Structure 1
Amino acid sequence: MSQRVSRRGFITGASALAGAVAGAAAIGTSACSTEEKQSKDHVVDFHGAHQAGITTKQQDRLHFAAFDVISDSREDLADLLQTWTEMARRMSKGELAEPGAMEEVGQASVPGDSGEAYDLPASNLTITVGFGPSLFDQRFGLASAKPKELKDLPHFAGDMTRAEISRGDLCIQACADDPQVAVHAVRNLARVGTGVVEVRWSQLGFGHASATTKGQQTPRNLFGFKDGTNNVKAEDQDVLDQYIWVNNTNSWFDGGTYLIARRIRMLIENWDRQVLREQEATFGREKRTGAPLGAEDEFDALPLDASDEQGNPLVPLDAHSRLASPVENSGHHMLRRAYNFTDGSDGFGHLDAGLFFIAIVASPEKTFIPIQSKLAKKDKLNEYVRYESSSIFALPPGLKDENDWWGRTLFEQTA
């Protein structure tokens, strides 16, 4: 049997194959070609100048996890990153987490794959890895190569951050169109990391709350508004080069970027008691269409200089869309990959739900921090949200071929 066993392929026995062929003959098509087409349609290329899962068409589900490294061995860390890369490369193709994971596994042996995604396609799975500021301390000899803007984010006005769901040495972002595929990816990477890393915190997300390609419809957040109408798209190459990708550092980080993660609790019950006029003034957009107040289409420019008959701005001065607009922030853009979340109810019967906000920028100091500082002080939306976590990670550049691995150039630069 091949060392690369597909999740679908390993369950295919002679009887199953015979049934599939008979069924295919009955409808005049080939079962094999259908499987191949499905595989091709649901696989995202793992290699490239930048990691997959950044400008990739945003998938519907997220499993994000941050890890602490509990070993002080540089060799252990490098070995784990190589192992993670090999496993992620396979899982992104819809294969088992480890080669031969189901071949001749004895009853007293531990399977090399947890099994919950055996019969599922790749589901556009992307696995993206990042390095936190704390990874560049004195433990692993990486301090000299720490990116200059990889620093814990400042405390913003109104932040109620919790240490237990913030920061971390490493992060894994797994996105897929099937939640079981995303969970399977993080689960198996965490499993093989036992003794080297431990999970610090994690977050599940659903119903992607931003669009990263022009072909995607703008999704809605849990407040019912279209979210990220003017998000940077994969097709905006000039914007990506200027505001998203790190360039010209002459280091391992060229081609990488910074990921900022913030868990934003939405005060759903408070919001649901507000009249429509109040809700639309908070966002500066119509709830049904997503159009800016005073405009007709979702993608019309914000009429920031327009006023009503009483002289009041059509888009209020404290509206979220105004304060976050590139026009109001010296033209700076950020790439959003946000997800909705709900974690049941809290002890008071309130829905524990909101937005797991992911922002990707080339310069946190020039882009994210100034924008968030302004929002923290002036945004009317602050009446209805609570910022509960704060993390930043450096995402290394993409992998060039089958022999490359996450962090290779970082370890070579600090050898």
Structure 2
Amino acid sequence: MADHSTPETSSQRTTSKASSKVTSPREADAENASSKKATPENASPKEAVSQEASPKRAFSRRRLLGTAGATGLALGAAGGAVGYAAAPSAEKATPLTSLGADAVTFHGKHQPGITNALQALGHLVAFDLAAGAGRKEAAALLRRWSATAQRLMAGEAAAHDDTNIARDAGPSSLTVTFGFGHSFFARTGLEKQRPVALDPLPDFSSDHLDKARSNGDLWVQIGANDALVAFHALRAIQKDAGSAARVRWQMNGFNRSPGATEQPMTARNLMGQIDGTRNPKPSESTFDQRIFVPASGSADPAWMANGSYAVVRRIRMLLDDWEKLSVKAQEDVIGRKKSNGAPLSGGTETTAMNLDKTDADGNLVVPINAHARITRPDQNGGAAMLRRPFSFHDGIDTDGAPDAGLLFVCWQADPLRGFVPVQRKLDRGDALSTFIRHESSGLFAVPGGAAEGEYVGQRLLEG
């Protein structure tokens, strides 16, 4: 677990808001039956009415119900009115949060789910193409998946056989991201288009990998700030796979919910540590060249322009052993204060770590094998990766130990310059390695975002 932070903390939002002028299907029926204009004062509890609703904008019932306050005016983060509903009693109305109204755009230069803020819920799932399925079937599948992702991320129902699981919710910052594994290219006859950067990761001495839960032809990352919205997307993606692909493995994760802390802050992991303090930030001048494949001048094939490479690792935390340590011992393992994430050399969370500082006895304040020392980019030839993980808890083992830890997801323009050198160094002497176990692994080529009218991977599959 490298010592980096997300570009924005889990409680910050960078997503766009749903429109403030909305009309529900139920209201439309009522307006056809009567010319009387409803207001918050005369609307019934079952009739959510938007003031000055524009007839030029069409919204699904899910989006309306997800963005309208149940007891009064709901305001988006930008202060715009989202919708109205009648109060069930004479008590003072309290606006609902705008959490469900947050939406991420599907189309763009990069795929969603990479630079967006951490979401509360996530599903990682890998698929293998079915026997006999090839390039044609893969193209049809990515076309279906892209269409479904676009609709769900906009807060709309799936085009076919929607399960209605999330019909009462808004988009809730849903993102769906697609990638290709090393084996995909042989299955589709596209070996010449396989990037060199997608070569299998080297073996690490700390690995205890389950092959059945590693790699895969295709990879999908789903994230949202509502559990039902995330599950709804998962079911839709699984159903869209049809006979073209089958699930190879699936992992479910979570993070702290946006707004759960008094102020925005870097997330904590299940060890209780602030996790992700030195992540590269989009505001940095070198961010794009470290995280995304350039549109030109790269050794990568043209279809990977503006894409990235995702390393996915299921890292089990040996929490029973970890929790036996004193707080001081835990801090020495990490190299940072547990309370606020500040380096042991002093300052605040964002203070540069002084690796040479010693105590009165001449001992290094930040131990030589501290996790935060080893993972610093300036200690690894500038190696950088954008971490965007989820925590997981999959129950209790037969010995009573929790099966819990981190679904590690990191992004980089080249894993051989990002993940690999850092992991090799951790493999040689990280104090944290005693308390974690890498149990599965995957590397996926994630192409750039789809333009309007395109599906993800179209330039590979139809190029």
Contact 1:223 1:268 in 2 (8 A): yes
Separation in 2, partners of 1:79, 1:371:
38
Change (3 A) 1:346 1:404: same
Change (3 A) 1:23 1:61: farther
Matched, 1:259 2:320: no
Matched, 1:207 2:255: yes
Matched, 1:25 2:41: yes
- Greater shift in the superposed pair: 37-46 or 241-250: 37-46
Other-structure match for 1:66 = 126
Other-structure match for 1:75 = 136
Contact 1:319 1:380 in 2 (8 A): yes
Change (3 A) 1:346 1:170: same
Q: What are the Cα deviations for residues 355-408 of structure 1, in whole angstroms up to 9, with x where unaligned?
A: 11001011111121010011112110011111101100000101121x110111
RMSD over equivalenced CA pairs, Å: 2.6
Shift of 1:152: 2.0
Matched, 1:338 2:338: no
| Structure 2: runs of 5 or more not aligned | 1-22, 52-66, 69-80, 83-97
Other-structure match for 1:129 = 178
Shift of 1:63: 0.8
Other-structure match for 2:152 = 91
Change (3 A) 1:246 1:309: same
Other-structure match for 2:93 = none
Change (3 A) 1:123 1:244: same
Contact 2:134 2:189 in 1 (8 A): no
How high is the sequence identity, in percent, across the aligned residues? Answer: 38
Contact 1:11 1:119 in 2 (8 A): no
Contact 1:208 1:338 in 2 (8 A): no
Other-structure match for 1:221 = 269
Q: 1:178 aligns with which of 201, 226, 234?
A: 226
- The aligned length equals 385
Separation in 1, partners of 2:376, 2:135:
43
Q: TM-score, normalization: structure 1?
A: 0.87
Other-structure match for 1:405 = 455
Other-structure match for 2:86 = none
Letter in 1 for 2:157: L
Other-structure match for 2:335 = 284
Shift of 1:216: 4.5
Shift of 1:332: 2.0
Shift of 1:9: 5.3
Q: Show the 5 A alignment for 1:225-374.
A: 225-236=273-284, 238-247=285-294, 248=296, 249=298, 251-374=302-425
Shift of 1:16: 12
Structure having the higher helix fraction is: 1
Change (3 A) 1:243 1:23: same
Letter in 2 for 1:412: E
Q: What are the Cα deviations for residues 203-225 of structure 1, in whole angstroms up to 9, with x where unaligned?
A: 11111599xxxx94101001111
Letter in 2 for 1:274: L
Q: What are the Cα deviations for residues 103-161 of structure 1, in whole angstroms up to 9, with x where unaligned?
A: xxxxxxxxx11221111110010100000000011x32211111111022111111101
Contact 2:38 2:49 in 1 (8 A): no
Other-structure match for 1:108 = none
Shift of 1:24: 2.4
Matched, 1:385 2:446: no
- 2:358 counterpart SS class: coil
- 1:25 counterpart SS class: coil
Contact 2:282 2:288 in 1 (8 A): no
Letter in 2 for 1:293: L
Other-structure match for 2:78 = none
Separation in 1, partners of 2:100, 2:421:
42
- 2:449 counterpart SS class: coil
Contact 2:101 2:170 in 1 (8 A): no
